[in-house]
């Protein structure tokens, strides 16, 4: 492995980690927003207050299965 390829590999790894962190922060923000929706908005989406509460209380690292490699 050359020095240039090592640098490129490191850059890609850092980029993937940054994207992953941004996705986790976005997911946490969306869950907090879900918890603040009123009953009419939840009904429009077809979920109950209990569903919204359960989703909002999930840990930040509890991500959808398709996110896991």
pLDDT of 5-57, one tens digit each? 776 666 667 666 777 888 888 999 999 999 999 999 999 999 999 999 999 99
pLDDT of residue 41: 97
Residue 4 banded pLDDT, cuts 50, 70, 90: low
Angle at 46 between CA 45 and CA 50, to 5 degrees: 105
Residue 2 banded pLDDT, cuts 50, 70, 90: confident
Domain boundaries, given as residue ranges, for the chain = 24-63
Q: Residue 32 contacts by C-beta under 8 Å, 6 or more apart in sequence? A: 56
CB atoms within 10 A of CB 41: 12
């Amino acid at each position: 492995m050359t020095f240039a390829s090592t640098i490129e590999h490191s850059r890609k790894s850092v980029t993937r980690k940054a994207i992953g962190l941004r996705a986790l922060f976005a997911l946490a923000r969306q869950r907090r927003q879900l918890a603040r929706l009123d009953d009419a908005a939840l009904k429009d989406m077809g979920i109950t207050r209990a569903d919204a509460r359960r989703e909002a209380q999930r840990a930040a690292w509890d991500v959808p299965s398709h996110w896991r490699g």
